[in-house]
Structure 1
Amino acid sequence: MTNAAIILLAGTDGHDSLGRVVNALEAAKEFAEADGDELELIFDGAGTTWVPELEDEDHDLHELYQSVRENAAVCEYCSGAFGVGDVVDDSGLVTLDDHDGHPSVRTLVDDGYEVITF
């Protein structure tokens, strides 16, 4: 059994960022499909800007995103700071504000999660 926290920090600008979101979602899917593994997928920083893109049913990655969406959460502070707070709210995704409005990485580590960033 593995506890994994995948944190997506890459924004939507550039080809390299597309590669990072694909790799984050594929890694998340691998953990989600493994029996007994626990997964947290967190959109943080500029990564919050992917939420409107991935929620769009016409986006090429929508289906992959849907396969891990139940494990996803979004930084509350960053979703507002990057202008996607309304879309995040409408999506129904959980927002995290454990540490000064941001997800608590320390809590994840303390809970035995391996933290992987993309």
Structure 2
Amino acid sequence: MTNAAVVILAGTESHADTGRLVNGLETAREFAETDGDDVELIFDGAGTQWIPELEDEGSDYHDLYDAVREDAAACDFCTGAFGVRDAVDDATVSTLGEHDGHPSLRSLVDDGYEVLTF
């Protein structure tokens, strides 16, 4: 059994960012599809900007996102800082703010999660 936290930090501005997003989503899906593994998918920083795009059924990556959506959460502070709070709320993606409004990666490590950043 493996516990993994996949953290998407890549923004939406470049081809490289898109590659990091897709690699992160693929990694999250691999953990989600493996019996006994547990995965947390966290959109943090500029990565929060992906949520409204991925919620669009016309997105090239919507199906990949949809496969791991139930494991997804977003940084509470960053959804506001990057102007996507309403879209994240509309998508009913939960927000995390245990550490000064941000997700507590320390807590995940303490709980035995490997933290993978993209």
TM-score of Structure 1 vs Structure 2, range by shorter chain? over 0.9
Q: Deviation digits for residues 51-72 of structure 1, max 9, x if unmatched? A: 0100001000000000000000
Aligned to 2:23: 23
Aligned to 1:92: 92
CA RMSD of aligned residues (A): 0.3
The amino acid that maps onto 1:85 is R
CA distance in 2, matches of 1:72, 1:110: 20
The amino acid that maps onto 2:96 is L
SS of the counterpart of 1:68? Answer: helix
Runs of 4+ deviating beyond 2 Å: none
Verify: 1:55 aligned to 2:55, yes or no: yes
CA distance in 2, matches of 1:22, 1:91: 19
SS of the counterpart of 1:35? Answer: coil
Aligned to 1:45: 45
Task: Give the unaligned 5+ runs of structure 1.
Answer: none
Task: Give the unaligned 5+ runs of structure 2.
Answer: none
SS of the counterpart of 1:4? Answer: strand
The amino acid that maps onto 1:48 is T
CA distance in 2, matches of 1:106, 1:42: 14
The amino acid that maps onto 1:30 is E
CA distance in 2, matches of 1:29, 1:39: 9
Aligned to 1:7: 7
TM-score, normalised to structure 1's length? 0.99
Residue 86 (structure 1) shift: 0.3
Number of equivalent positions: 118
Verify: 1:117 aligned to 2:117, yes or no: yes
SS of the counterpart of 1:57? Answer: coil
Residue 18 (structure 1) shift: 0.5
Verify: 1:69 aligned to 2:69, yes or no: yes
SS of the counterpart of 1:78? Answer: helix
